[in-house]
Each structure stands twice: as C-alpha cells, then as structure tokens.
Amino acid sequence: MSARTFKPTETVDFVVVGSGAAGGVMARELAQAGFEVLVLEQGPRFTAADFRHDELDYWFNNALLNSPEASPQTFRKSAQDKAARVRDFPSLWYARMVGGSSNHFTANFWRFHEVDFRERSLLGAIAGTSFADWPIDYAELEPYYTRVEWEIGVSGLAGASPFDPPRSKPYPMPPLPVKSSGVLLERGARKLGLHPFPAPMAIASVPYRGRPSCAHCGFCMGFGCEMQAKSSTLYTVIPEAEATGRCEVRSESYVSRIDVNDRDRVTGVTYFDRDKREHFQKARAVVVCANGAETARLLLMSGSARHPDGLANSSGFVGRNLMFNTYAEVHAIFEHELNEYKSVQVTRVVHDFYDSDPRRGFYGGGGFDSRIGPAPIGWALFAPPAERSWGPGLKSLIEAMPRAMVVATHGTSLPLESNRVDLDPELKDAWGLPAMRVTYQDHPDDLACAGFLQDRAVDVMQAAGAQQVWKGPLTDAAGSPHLLGTCRMGNDPKTSVVDRYHRTHDIRNLFICDGSSLVTSGRGQPTMTIQALAFRAGEHIARFARRGEI
C-alpha cells in the first residue's frame, strides 16, 4: 500500500513532530495500531543514494545537521553570562532530515542497565542536582528493548558481557566482524582482568528484513549509510509506517507552535512549509518527538496568556536538566597496521566501570570502546597534541594513521536544573522564531568520572602493547549530539513534564517521547533506550486512544 497523503482540512488522529529515532517508531506503532498519522519533519528526505563520503561537507560544513546559519544557537556556561552566538558548528546538534540522527549516528546500541533506572534510591541524593529515579524500571522496559533489537535490527552477542542486564531473547544478528582495534582493546583489557565484549550495533551484520548487510565502508559516524545497512528509521520503521496506508511523512515542514484551546486541549500545530508559508494542521492529539533540544524549544515557543511559561511547563522543568554524556579520547599507535578507516567504528566495548562506586570519590560510571574519529581529516585535526599540531610532528602522525586507534569513553552526566535549553531573548532563526539558547556546565563529578575512564583506557592501551599512547583534551562540554533530560518523565507533576506513559501532566492530548524523556543520562549511547521508550509509549498511547482516553 502506498503512503497516505492528508489534506490540510482533514483532522488527523495524531500529528507526530519529528521523524527521528523516536518519531519514526512512534509513527509506525500508531499507524499499525490503526490510527491516521501525519509526521511533520523539518528537514528534507534523502535516499541512500544521496549520501556521500565527503568528510569536509559532513563533518565541517554541517551537510546533514541543523545549520548555525539558518537555525542559530547561543551558548553560555551559566545564567550569569550573556550567551554568545555559536559559529561554525551547533552546540546541540542533530541530523535535520527524515530519520533524524538515526541516520548519522555511530549506531552503538547497548541497553541501559537496571541500575540506571534507580540509582537515586541506591546512592542517595546528590546535593545541588535533580538526580532522581525513573518512574519505570528496567524490567518494564525489557520487552521493548527486545523489540528494538528485532524490529529495528541490532547485531550483537547475547550474554557476552557479564554486566548486561537480563534479556528475554538473543540478538537477531551475530556481531559484526572484529577489527584490529577491537582485538587490541580486548587483548589489553583481558590482560588487566577486565571483560571486553563484542559491541552491539544497530548495523546489519547479515541481510536483515529486506536490507543488505554492512559493506564495511567505514563511513558510519557522522554519515548516512548508502548501503541501508545501518538501522536508521529512514530504512526501517518509516517505510513500514507508510506501508500501512495510514501514515504520511511530510518533510520540510517545520513546526513553530503547538496550538491549544481554552480548555487546554491541543487542536493541532502550526508549521512552515519549504517555502516558509505557514499552515495549520488539525489533529486529535500531538506526540512531540523532535529531540531533547527542539522538543523543549517548541514547548517554550508555544506559550500563551494561559501558559505564560510555555506549554506543559507548570513544573518549570521544560528545557531543564539537559544532559549530554561525557566523552573523552585516548589515542594509541601500534607497530602494525590496523586500518581503522575500514568498517564500523566500534567492535569491542568495556563496561567493567559501568556502576558508580563511592570509593572512587565521585558519582558516576561508564565505559569505553574502540573507535577512530572520522578519517582522515578528523585524525589529523583532533588527535595530535598541541606540540605536534603542525610541522614534521604532525606529518609523522598523519603517516601513522594506519597504525592508530582511538578509545572513546562514555559516561554519566548529572541532571542540573541550571543546565538547560531556553529561548534566546534577541537572536531569531531564519523563520523569525526565537533561537535556541543553551546553558551548560559539567558537574565536577562528570569530569572526574570522564577522567577516570580515560585513565583506565590508557591502562588498556598500554597493556595491549601500544608504542605511543596519549590522552585527548578533557574540558567542559560546550555541546553534544546526546540531547537528554529536558522534559523528564516522572510521577510528580511538580518535578517532571511527562508521566510514566509520556503524557504531559498538563495537557491530556499532548505526549512527548524522545531523549528529553530520560531522567538520568545512562552511560552514553542513548538511542537504543530512546527507541525502547518509543515502542512502549506508542503501545500505551494507542491503548489510550482506543479507549477514548485522549
């Protein structure tokens, strides 16, 4: 069946704002449940044939991203500072296109652990933070993690990590072939008594559900997959949603406002088409899946006399508790060739330091994985220490690239009310809407944890026999593609934006599901969890709709 096209005068059952990791799943779940779904996506629709191996355009010219010119942002470290316009590269970045950031992500796809959902109870309060338990636990999310693995498509080895939480089913595909970086990470980690394991990746290792397997071209992180082997929603749930005949994905449709009546019911959304003409789309309910940055901004832009602080914001938590996951790199050069530019970025992961351990003197945990940044420009620009950033020192590092690998850490970010997305009071975007203002400063424990993980990664590289090992810079984060926590879920309407079913506490027919729903940051690589939440939310929202409870 071909995709449905709705007329502007029709009232659809659901408008889904955003077609990324969460929006794609939501559209498919609601359409397959029998509802009419219109997905409004601000970016264009690409096909696999449109993606190119152009490192300059994709990494340094924001070819796939929200552009700092059309969609400007400002950044500051604290509310006392005046936020400055961010040039060259966005602070909060995402792929602005159908399928969203599920197109250009690295595709690391491990589940959160049980501890991630109830750490506040286990460890107690942390002063100055809004550290909290989730309203759901791992067991409640487990069936949906399994659905992600089977319906989106994840390659991995069940039971390989002794730290993994319980699972009801193995992975549907075997792990991708190990790379030299994975072998070396495993070698070093095992020598130190650690437990490296094959990386779970949302990339097809064998042909899967009509998609071909990975060709190992190497252009995953920051690139779209021209093989359709990466399990982006563009290639998985979005075509399935359209195949129901009840779903339209309307690209280049930029939602500027969610409209409510005087009984606090959403009536539809206002959006700009590709020619910047405004339209109003009527809907019985709206699900916002616009990512942890844009979702909060849209709610704040949808304020009115009745909702002076923005829509669904009686808690004041919309846009607050922004979390990133820390990131630090360790670089290593070995005797023989690894050729890290080939194949998927990550093949082995270490999660021995996942849990927080009070004996370390700080809150937090995480892991690290074998990978290289985008090659080769990224290597030459980002890997060299300052004293080797030009001249013969730089040249020798460029020549050493085939023998190099990077270990990347992934760790916790504490939720802080002061870290937030809001509306810049002066700057406007290309549509005349308020620009996004970002306020962010890492909690000291976040940086301490990242430094700890970085040091453990150094140990592993040395144990693996590296000839040279050095650490990348570890500084305050000024941005991230992990956009988490800004409309957190919770049972208490005073300290959360959505309830345990992703319904906003304030507006009965307004739902939110994306990275903004997360209560804690996990240890990084959040997309798997965002999609599990979307499968679960879709099921509950469909149930409410069938019962007339929307």
Partner 1 sequence: MNKNNTSRREFLRASGGALGAAWLGIHWPELATAAQHAHEVAAGRVDHEFMVLTASQARDVAAIAAQVVPSGDTPGASEAGVVYFIDHIHAGLYARSAPEFLAGLAAFQAEFARQHPGTGPFADLDAPGQHAHLKSIESTPFFGTMKYLTIVGLLALPSYGGNEHKLGWKLAGFVDQHAWTPPFGHYDRDYAGFVPYATAPR
By the criterion CB under 8 A, which residues form the site for partner 1?
A: 53-57, 60-61, 157, 159-160, 162-163, 175, 177-180, 182-184, 186-187, 195, 197-198, 215-218, 226, 334, 336-343, 352, 375-377, 379-381, 389-392, 394-395, 398-399, 401-402
Judged by beta carbon, residue 317 or residue 379, the one nearer partner 1 is 379
Judged by beta carbon, residue 391 or residue 548, the one nearer partner 1 is 391
Tokens of 231: 């399990």
CA distance 230 to 467: 34
CA distance 381 to 385: 10
Cβ 163 to partner 1, closest distance in Å?
A: 8
Judged by beta carbon, residue 3 or residue 381, the one nearer partner 1 is 381
Cβ 47 to partner 1, closest distance in Å?
A: 16
Cβ 119 to partner 1, closest distance in Å?
A: 16
CA distance 437 to 323: 15
8 Å CB contact between 126 and 414 = yes
Cβ 144 to partner 1, closest distance in Å?
A: 25
Cβ 342 to partner 1, closest distance in Å?
A: 4
Judged by beta carbon, residue 31 or residue 225, the one nearer partner 1 is 225
Question: How many residues are listed for the chain in this entry?
Answer: 550
Judged by beta carbon, residue 30 or residue 405, the one nearer partner 1 is 405
Q: What is the DSSP letter of 341?
A: T
Among candidate residues 223, 226, 231, the one with its CA nearest the CA of residue 176? 231
Among candidate residues 449, 550, 478, 471, the one with its CA nearest the CA of residue 509? 550
User: Which letter, b or e, does each residue of 320-334 get, where b requires 16 or more Cβ atoms within 10 Å of its Cβ?
Assistant: bbbbbbbbbbbbbbb
Judged by beta carbon, residue 336 or residue 359, the one nearer partner 1 is 336
Cβ partners under 8 Å of residue 9, min gap 6: 282
Cβ 186 to partner 1, closest distance in Å?
A: 8
**Angle formed by the axes of helices 444-463 and 180-191, nearest 10°:** 100
Number of Cβ atoms within 10 Å of the Cβ of 378: 17
Cβ 381 to partner 1, closest distance in Å?
A: 5
Judged by beta carbon, residue 62 or residue 325, the one nearer partner 1 is 62
Supply the DSSP string of 401-461, one letter for each residue: GGGEEEEEEEE-----TTSEEEEEEEEE-TTSPEEEEEE----HHHHHHHHHHHHHHHHHH
Judged by beta carbon, residue 279 or residue 388, the one nearer partner 1 is 388
Cβ 350 to partner 1, closest distance in Å?
A: 12
